Structure 1
Amino acid sequence: MPCPHVASVVRVPARGAAVYKDECSQCFHDWDQPEGVDVCLTCFNAACPSVHGIAHAFQRGHPVAVNLRRVPKPQLQRPEGEPPAKITKLAIAAESDAEKYSIVPSIKCYDCSETDVPAAGQADAAIKAILDASTTAVQNEIKAWELEITPCEHTLCLEQGPAKQLDASLAHCGACSLNENLWLCLTCGHLGCGRAQYGGLSGNGHGLAHATTSAHPVAVKLGTITPEGSADVYCYACNDERTDPHLATHLAQFGINVLTQTKTEKSLVEMQIEQNLKFEFEMTSADGQSLHPVAGPGLVGLKNLGNSCYVAAVVQCLAHQPEWAFRYRADMGAAADHVEQCSAQHAECWECQWSKLVTAITQGQPHAVAPAQFKHLIAQGHADFATMKQQDASEFLVHVLKKVQQAEKKTGKDPSAVFHFVQAQKLECTHCHGVRYAETDANVLNVMVPDEALKRALKAGENDPPVTVDALQCLRDGMRELVPFQCPRCRANVEAIKTIGFKTFPKVLALTAQRFTYDNWVPKKSNVHLTWPAADALSNLDLSFLKVELLPTDHVLEDEPAAAASGAPAPDSEELQQLVSFGFPRGKAKRALAETGNHLEAAMNWIMDHPEDIPDEPEPTSGGATAVDESALSMLMDMGFTRAQAAHGLRETQGNVERAVEWLFSHPEAGAETESSSAAAPAVVRLDVADKSVYALDAFINHKGPSMHCGHYIAHVARREGEKLQVVVRDGEEVSAETQMRAETAPWVMLNDDRVVAQTNVHPLLEEAYVYLLRRKE
């Protein structure tokens, strides 16, 4: 009897619908493996046939799937003596997957326990649509890579001067002798050199100087012009890359025929990609020994998806924390329950994707995995992380911790709670010695490198020894500073000693080394080395000196009604309006002024030293309290906020639910005045213990490159006691007993995208690290 389900349950995916077909949505089993992948013909979820395919079929009641196996096509061999095909273009098209692989489909029914089921109803149309559809991973990658370089009013409405003939063979900068990196002004034909670029490309910025003095906005880079009419076009008025739809016409004004042009120089995008690819960490130890590949639980590489090393580095450090494994491993506790009960599309489910990735890492997947579905989900809706551009690993860590905290608020199983701590701030008036005291929740601490060291490092030559500073001394020095203060007792603008430290210490302390100095508002990275007293998991770093608390002898200054008396900027204060007019978000401007006692210059410096996101706040309104919508209240209360907290957040954000969530996480005290202490729910779950302050280095992230937004990130994790690893031996390779012993006893492991190697000495890399994770010793 033929299977009755095929004709009744099969659906044809709509054009552009999400189709998951190349990898199981709950593990990293893919269609290149002999068993292939089962794609549900009802909801188009992809699953491994042996585990998740069966579970999906019976949990969802979707019995029919098409099994897809991708097999390599046999490569045609060129007959002996036949010359290769003539290359007619400089740009050689890459061989497509369709030319390299065949897809073998086979219908199966789980209810009937049958394979190779004959097609019926819409089955053939559904399979064809699935095979024709791009995988969701490809769709997401295309969207992320789309760098929307568009025309602007200056390229569209360009007015050119008199025609003139340029002799390209004699071309050089009009202000110096450089004959490369030349930019042609499309208004007057002036040639000026560009700015110096990575890779030794010279430039003195004379093209920019010409645009500034002449107000001629658009220039094209010679050497990047192609016969197709493309080139690097830059608009100095917009300060951005643009396209010129009439480039061929504009170039003809200067005797340049695009059809005769040959591309001889790299474009800006090509140089950025080259820079990211060329940064490499030495795969040898300090004594010249090769670092050997290793594998085992917790030691799984993450493939680079294209400028995704910052994602891999942060995820590896988080997965190294036992709390992360306990929360998200698919065979443990809450994650195991979720896998059985999840009714969402697994590829779009937050918990399923965390479970998929953490399980693969902690169980020791035999091969590196590509976290494409995870990256798409964790970055969804974020203007920067959703792109394929390199991003700041520290900012991504903050983003991940915030997202996890929000997602886990209702479950009470938040693994990011190990990072949370209460930061205390004391302002002591230097005249009357009165004290203001405040507490805030935080999860990352900045290590401020002294300006003097930053400037010395920037001036140092390539052969000069590195500038070094003591990491613990930086923490001490960053605790205290003298700031302007409006004292309510003295009723005068005075100075106060500002002290910032810990009221409680987190289980895992995340530190970010701020190695930046600013030149004309442009951040420049300075290669200052931070020295640590020890670099292993057995070290004892006593951070008790960072403890800050209100003492019985402290005289707390009384609050006054005026906003100025509390140190907070008035809603319409001149300083606040100035910062907002400079383009800073209102919320961040208010925070900066509050931190610096309403001192404008100090507030601007504070903003530059704290690049992390601070939720914006709406412009003040002249009306009364914002009406609170009951449905919005219910949504926030469903997320775990109390009614008073939800109402307060909605009033502060004019009823915007998404902004209310951000506001409530940055104002954990909100609503407390209307809640009894027994009923109020804490805004943040914390696993901090006030009296324990001894730490050991547990993981760190290195960065190479001139900016946090380019270069390369690599994670390093400390071996846990009793943690087993094995040396990876390739076919035909011989590994000496000494190499085997060095790897098995190495105290650290380097995770460089898909490469995982044992490390015996991390001191040089540790001193240059960007993000540090210290674990509290129990």
Structure 2
Amino acid sequence: MGLELPQNIPPHVPAGAKIYKDDCMYTFDTAENNDLGLDIDLKTYRAYSRNNEYNYTKQNYEATGNYLYLNVKKTLKPKEEIDKLLYDDDGEKSPKIRKLEIKNVSEEDYYNTEISLYDVKQDKLYPRSELSAAFNNLFEEILSANSSNDDEEIKQWEQEIAPCPHSVNVEQFDFDGTLDLTKCSQCDLKENLWICLHCGALGCGRQQYASTMKGNGHALAHYETSQHPVALKLGSLSGDSESYDAYCYQCNDEVKVPNLAAILKKYGIDLEKTKKTEKSLVELNIDQNLNWDFKLDGAGGDKLPPVYGKGLTGLKNLGNSCYMNSVLQALFDLSSYKEFFKGLNPKLDINPAEDLSSQLLKIYDGLYSGRYSVPSPLKGEDYQLGIKPFVFKNLIGQNHPEFKTQRQQDAYEFLLYLLDKLDNEFGLKLNEDLKFVYTEKVVCDNCKHGSLKNELVDNISVPLEETVLATEGDEKVYKEVDLRDSFQKVAGPELIPGYQCDNCNSKPGAALKSGGFTSFPKYLIVSAQRIKLENWAPAKVDVPVKVPFTLDLSEFKAPFFKEGEIEVTPSRSNDDTQTFTANAEQLNTLLGMGFPEPRSIKALYSTGNNDAEAAMNWLFEHMEDPDIDEPLDLTGEGLKAPSTPSDEAVSNLVGMGFSHQLSKKALYLNNDDPSAAVEWLFSNPDDDGVIEVNDKVPVNAGKEKRDLLAKLSNESKSSGQYQLKSVICHKGASSHTGHYVVFVKKFVDGAWKWVLFNDEKVVLCQEENLKEVEKNAYIYIFEQV
């Protein structure tokens, strides 16, 4: 008969249930890397792990009373069986990947899987043969269902590529029936072939950046002469998959093509019989990220040695997540981060997948436990086993239009976004060592009256002087710059034309602006302004910067009023609230460019109120700020009264069956985004609908910032002497393409050494190996001496 399923356990997985079966809720233990496997709660479908150090399965039982778990344990197959997966059977071990058809061998194929029932009360495993049909049926449903990570990844990719107006209705022209599908019609290339879906013309694609796949761009040339926008990569077609590469040259983006089978039939191509022969654009991009070596070799050309241990754990690339991996490695190397998370304990009364502090604690454990800093059993010692921060990535980016996608992102934008999230989650305690007071002085050139403005910040962005020495092909060769010269440009003095002085009202006037550090932080984050807008698209400038192993910023202390200059204290009303009036001319310029008024006012306030171009650049840098459309608030209290969602938006949610009060709260918490509000409502079915003052920003956030600003403003201890601690590098034509890695100075084997974190590749390197850093350094983190 077999062990029967208890009545209090649902016999079927409810529709829409999230199944967390990839790794433990509190660690990166998986069914593959944990000797005892993974335990999946049969009531909540959350996974837990246990070993000699901890027992999260038991802790969950003690907290919930749930004692029955699906145990999944995977062990690596013998080498002979793995060889059969990878090689032909002709005795010569010719890799199957050389065959015409691409073979997909998943990680699952490398493992033997054992399934059993674990009773935590008895600490006993039951094999499937001893279980009832109801138990086994439930197991099959859990095992065959997508995990929560899979569902998120599918959702993200589905959001990525959609039909465009040109691919929805592909206009096809007369076709003479003769078509050679084996090579480009304009050259001899037999790979990377793209067919025009409008006329059947076959041309090779463009050379993919950092890829070995060749291309002469003849498909693009066909579009330029014919204006036929939609083309499809032949080698990406597979009859058993809906995944393929189609591109609209007019929209300059990847697209989906409805009714593709009928379109291809005209050219004698049977979609159902096609076999994939080349990697897709996504796969090429992922391969590029995973295999980038940054041309690093040892002093004698030898391979850089891999390194393992606590604090030397790699983060696996989740597709295009190298920007996130590099930022996390740099931040978690800071002593303040290590101490903060070392003192946190897991929360056992919540869903850790929906709690930011739980995910950060999980990452800390993953990086510093050392359990995952071992050679990969599948890839060899060049790669670590590493950890996969899927849940963190999904959580941190869930309400962000860019970071919730699978596209490559700007590491600096992500860093700023993450720091802001952490300040809101933990207050300023976690990032206090990054904070400093930067002071700007503006003095009227006519009457010498001026003011000082103190700002609490956690990073500084510096320009790079672009002096072109020569041109080699399509590449410019720039003069090397010193980072101190970039700080000099930031500090000034700088002449501000068109300045209108409140004291003398000189028209047209001018002012001198200068700046400097009132306090120096323990850790200084510096971003090199390598990304420029060219034709409204971000492009990277490879100006070489001398590697700043040490940096002396002592000369860039805060400016003060000299003899003959008169400081004007900004006026305040009786309630101690600052006021700001935007420069009407500059505001009208921004409004005429299409920027909303709240954004324009904020931009002018943040850039001195005299320069529309500077304000525009500020807007481009802060487009994704969560409060970008909220009115400028100078009270410092951090939280205003809740905004009132539109009646129409509320009515739409009420029409879906939600209460009026709950609908208002959902819209308020999600910035009036109906889609995000609906997702929040489904995730919080038991919420009472009451909007608490701490639902968005801690009520004391403004006071905390004022107190820290006052504290740092009065500090005289600050040293401007720094040494380089880590540097995030980017290689590629744009911050949204290419690859990110991070170099971190670590204490290894009794000495300080540079360690390169290239996703799950972690290797030792010397200072002479950092030559590539000169043109690729994007974000520096310095430690105060």
What band does the TM-score fall into relative to the shorter chain?
A: 0.7 to 0.9
Give 1:71's aligned residue: 75
How far has the Cα of 1:506 moved from its partner?
2.2
- Taking the aligned partners of 2:701 and 2:324, their CA distance within structure 1 comes to 40
Give 1:20's aligned residue: 20
Give 2:392's aligned residue: 374
Give 1:632's aligned residue: none
Identity over aligned residues, as a percent?
Answer: 29
1:440-479 correspondence runs (5 A): 440-450=455-465, 452-453=466-467, 456=469, 459-460=471-472, 467-479=479-491
Q: Is 1:710 aligned with 2:737?
A: yes
Residue 14 of structure 1 aligns to a residue whose secondary structure is coil
CA shift digits 1:236-280 (9 cap, x unpaired): 554433233345665677x66567999888764455445435532
Between 113-122 and 288-297, report the one with greater CA deviation: 113-122
Change (3 A) 1:359 1:209: same
- Taking the aligned partners of 1:345 and 1:275, their CA distance within structure 2 comes to 35
Give 2:653's aligned residue: none
Give 1:55's aligned residue: 59
Residue 468 of structure 1 aligns to a residue whose secondary structure is coil
Q: Is 1:767 aligned with 2:774?
A: yes
Residue 431 of structure 2 aligns to a residue whose secondary structure is helix
How far has the Cα of 1:710 moved from its partner?
2.0
Residue 496 of structure 2 aligns to a residue whose secondary structure is strand
Change (3 A) 1:613 1:139: closer
- Taking the aligned partners of 1:136 and 1:313, their CA distance within structure 2 comes to 24
1:350-749 correspondence runs (5 A): 350-365=356-371, 366-367=373-374, 368-409=386-427, 414-450=429-465, 452-453=466-467, 456=469, 459-460=471-472, 467-480=479-492, 481-484=494-497, 485-488=499-502, 489-532=504-547, 535=549, 539=550, 541-548=552-559, 553-556=565-568, 568-570=582-584, 573-580=587-594, 584=595, 587-594=598-605, 595=607, 597-607=609-619, 610=621, 613-615=624-626, 617-618=628-629, 645-647=638-640, 650=643, 657-658=668-669, 680-682=703-705, 688=712, 690-691=715-716, 692=718, 693-719=720-746, 723=747, 725-726=748-749, 745-749=751-755
Change (3 A) 1:703 1:87: closer
The code of the aligned residue for 1:434 comes to H
Maintained 8 Å contact 1:507/1:775: yes
CA shift digits 1:647-693 (9 cap, x unpaired): 3574899996447899xxxxxxx9xxxxx999945468678574313
- Count of paired positions: 695
Change (3 A) 1:508 1:133: same
The code of the aligned residue for 2:414 comes to F
Q: Is 1:127 aligned with 2:127?
A: no
Give 2:377's aligned residue: none
Q: Is 1:41 aligned with 2:42?
A: yes
- Taking the aligned partners of 1:248 and 1:3, their CA distance within structure 2 comes to 50
CA shift digits 1:398-432 (9 cap, x unpaired): 121111111113xx6x3122222333333222222
Give 1:325's aligned residue: 338
Change (3 A) 1:501 1:243: same
Match of 2:216 among 197, 202, 214: 202
The code of the aligned residue for 1:351 comes to S
Q: Is 1:309 aligned with 2:322?
A: yes
- Taking the aligned partners of 2:580 and 2:478, their CA distance within structure 1 comes to 44
Maintained 8 Å contact 2:598/2:631: no
Give 1:110's aligned residue: 120
How far has the Cα of 1:616 moved from its partner?
5.4
How far has the Cα of 1:54 moved from its partner?
1.7
Maintained 8 Å contact 1:517/1:525: yes
Residue 146 of structure 1 aligns to a residue whose secondary structure is helix
- Taking the aligned partners of 1:679 and 1:598, their CA distance within structure 2 comes to 27
TM-score, structure 1 as length reference: 0.75
Residue 359 of structure 1 aligns to a residue whose secondary structure is helix
- Taking the aligned partners of 1:479 and 1:679, their CA distance within structure 2 comes to 27
Change (3 A) 1:100 1:197: closer
Structure 1: stretches of 5+ with no match in the other structure? 626-640, 663-669, 671-675, 727-743
Change (3 A) 1:241 1:48: closer
Change (3 A) 1:543 1:221: farther
Maintained 8 Å contact 2:230/2:246: yes
Change (3 A) 1:543 1:290: farther
How far has the Cα of 1:511 moved from its partner?
0.8
- Taking the aligned partners of 2:4 and 2:168, their CA distance within structure 1 comes to 61
Change (3 A) 1:83 1:294: closer
Between 523-532 and 258-267, report the one with greater CA deviation: 258-267
1:107-256 correspondence runs (5 A): 107-116=117-126, 119=131, 123-146=135-158, 148-159=160-171, 197-198=208-209, 199=211, 201-203=215-217, 206-207=221-222, 209-210=224-225, 216=227, 218-221=229-232, 226=237, 232-247=245-260
Residue 364 of structure 1 aligns to a residue whose secondary structure is coil
Between 585-594 and 4-13, report the one with greater CA deviation: 4-13
- Taking the aligned partners of 1:405 and 1:343, their CA distance within structure 2 comes to 23
- Taking the aligned partners of 2:257 and 2:324, their CA distance within structure 1 comes to 35
The code of the aligned residue for 2:64 comes to R
Give 2:683's aligned residue: none
Residue 359 of structure 2 aligns to a residue whose secondary structure is helix
Structure 2: stretches of 5+ with no match in the other structure? 375-385, 574-578, 648-663, 674-692, 694-698
- Taking the aligned partners of 2:6 and 2:706, their CA distance within structure 1 comes to 50
The code of the aligned residue for 2:74 comes to R
- Taking the aligned partners of 1:54 and 1:353, their CA distance within structure 2 comes to 20
- Taking the aligned partners of 2:334 and 2:314, their CA distance within structure 1 comes to 16
How far has the Cα of 1:470 moved from its partner?
0.8
- Taking the aligned partners of 1:148 and 1:755, their CA distance within structure 2 comes to 28
- Taking the aligned partners of 1:202 and 1:53, their CA distance within structure 2 comes to 57
Change (3 A) 1:645 1:544: same
How far has the Cα of 1:473 moved from its partner?
0.8
- Taking the aligned partners of 2:458 and 2:727, their CA distance within structure 1 comes to 16
How far has the Cα of 1:285 moved from its partner?
3.1
- Taking the aligned partners of 1:682 and 1:516, their CA distance within structure 2 comes to 30
Maintained 8 Å contact 1:390/1:710: yes
Residue 400 of structure 1 aligns to a residue whose secondary structure is helix
The code of the aligned residue for 1:313 comes to S
- Taking the aligned partners of 2:286 and 2:701, their CA distance within structure 1 comes to 56
The code of the aligned residue for 2:521 comes to P
Change (3 A) 1:509 1:314: same
Residue 394 of structure 2 aligns to a residue whose secondary structure is helix
- Taking the aligned partners of 1:417 and 1:522, their CA distance within structure 2 comes to 34
How far has the Cα of 1:355 moved from its partner?
1.3
TM-score, structure 2 as length reference: 0.75
Give 2:355's aligned residue: 349
How far has the Cα of 1:699 moved from its partner?
1.1
Between 27-36 and 284-293, report the one with greater CA deviation: 284-293
Maintained 8 Å contact 1:576/1:593: no
The code of the aligned residue for 1:764 comes to K
CA shift digits 1:586-630 (9 cap, x unpaired): 55443444426454445445545x367444555989xxx9xxxxx
Maintained 8 Å contact 1:617/1:652: no
- Taking the aligned partners of 1:613 and 1:207, their CA distance within structure 2 comes to 37
Residue 19 of structure 1 aligns to a residue whose secondary structure is coil
- Taking the aligned partners of 2:558 and 2:393, their CA distance within structure 1 comes to 37
